[in-house]
Amino acid sequence: MTPSTPGLHHVTAIAGDPGDNAAFYVDALGLRFVKRTVNHDDTGTYHFYFGDGEGTPGTNVTFFPWSERGRDGRFGAGQTRDTAYLIRPESVDYWVDRLEERGVDVERTNRFDETVLRFEDPDGIGLELIGSDEADAADVATWSDGPVPEEHQLRGFHGATLAVAEVEPTAGLLADVLGYEREGTAGDRRRYRSAAGGPGSIVDLVETDADRGRMGVGTVHHVAFETDDVDEQERFRDAFRAHGRDVTEIIDRTYFRSIYAREPGGVLFEVATTEPGFDVDEAPDELGTSLALPERLEDEREAIEAQLPAFELPDAMGGGTPDEHR
Ligand code: ZN
């Protein structure tokens, strides 16, 4: 049987300055800094995770901050254009005010009968807040110590918009491998929804004439879809291969197990397990408060910490460098 996914698990992008990145996602957007670790494949780079109060799958946006030395990316075909979070319809005005007070340009539109607030993060990564009735159905954990009142907090993903040169090949993979079905069209946007439905189950496809994008600061690295467990993940591996795509082995990412495959339009897809989650190495009330390293890197902790770029924690976490909080 073809496996199916409830929808997005996380979205990972390349940021510039780590302090600016954390300040925006925590202080402005009110997400919790649920994990501070390093890129397991490049330990000189941080890996930040921002999500709901518990880092629930379906709420987390993650970043590799390449700092000022990072190569700028270029948006183009084969990339994620926008990552959309759910908010309650009655929170729309709150968010327009909150973002504009912080000097963020917000474009307000309507799409599929929902209010869309589009803006960019400090590195130019496209974000949307969608005022939707689905927000109340989202199974998320609010962050009681966060800077945004709980009733207005982001409520996990609505979906993602992928820009590709041709819609059909990507649509075919979404249908055959991930179980997405076409739901509607709005202008040049085609909407697909995973069979499970519900919050975070949307992928929109738009065609672009732009050249193939170049990965770097200000671009999304990959989008991850959720799967129950490694048994189902194996079925996704088989489905990618049956669709003619190269797919990685199952990789242990400490907080989930992952496979990766590039879809025909060029977007890197990941399928990540629900478990074990972010409390595997930190207590739930201490998430993100120290540098978390996988067991195999613990021996190198001192050297790794010494080469990571300095940055200040968000004001909502008390500001100052991570060292000052030890
Ligand atoms: Zn990932």
pLDDT at residue 70 greater than cutoff 90: no
In this prediction, what percent of the chain has a pLDDT beyond 90?
A: 95
pLDDT at residue 176 greater than cutoff 80: yes
How much distance in Å is there from the Cα of 45 to the middle of ligand 1? Answer: 15
Q: What pLDDT, in 10s, does the model give residues 113-155?
A: 999 999 999 999 999 999 999 999 999 999 999 999 999 999 9
Q: Residue 1 — very low, low, confident or very high, per pLDDT cuts 50/70/90? A: low
How much distance in Å is there from the Cα of 270 to the middle of ligand 1? Answer: 6
**Stronger pLDDT, 102 or 2, i.e. the higher one:** 102
Residue with tokens 């069209």: 185
Q: What pLDDT, in 10s, does the model give residues 218-250?
A: 999 999 999 999 999 999 999 999 999 999 999
Q: Which residues pair with 296 in a beta bridge?
A: none
* Per-residue model confidence (pLDDT) at position 272: 98
DSSP 3-state helix, strand, coil percentages of the chain (rounded to 5)?
A: 25, 35, 40
Q: Which token pair is 59?
A: 């709420």
Residue with tokens 């709901």: 52
Residue with tokens 């495959």: 261
What's the rounded mean pLDDT across residues 174-193?
A: 96
How much distance in Å is there from the Cα of 16 to the middle of ligand 1? Answer: 18
How much distance in Å is there from the Cα of 299 to the middle of ligand 1? Answer: 25
Residue with tokens 């496209």: 126
| 8 close to 224: Cβ distance less than 8 angstroms | yes
How much distance in Å is there from the Cα of 219 to the middle of ligand 1? Answer: 14
* Per-residue model confidence (pLDDT) at position 67: 83
* Per-residue model confidence (pLDDT) at position 128: 98
